[in-house]
Structure 1
């Protein structure tokens, strides 16, 4: 599954266009490597996402094409959240 689609389906980022923009600005890494919006995400991958002053590290638990709001949290687990001042 494409990175931008996973971020939208999992509701880590609300819109796919925003996910694409963040990825294309080199603010997302998959397993330590910079990723573009079209990079393939697999179960078990570790994503590091930089939002402004917050960095979030998540592990991909499952991949689905669509989810309901309450099921979205099952697609990933948060490993770490740090705030940069």
Structure 2
């Protein structure tokens, strides 16, 4: 029996070649350079956006425009919380 062919070979799992790393590096660098500022703005936006709700709630949500604006602000706040949750961890 020979050990050259095994029933469970890992031929499909190859270590990444230097050539593929070269192509991935600029994209990764761009993502890394944009990630921190986006998280920063999202984090502080999530803190500041609830203060925009206060005048709407004080005025009341009687009109459809005020209700729509409230829901848009609420959605923006939830999105900012999701994007900014990893800032400075």
Shared fold, TM over 0.5: no
Q: TM-score range by the shorter chain?
A: under 0.3
Normalization by structure 2: what TM-score? 0.21
Normalization by structure 1: what TM-score? 0.21
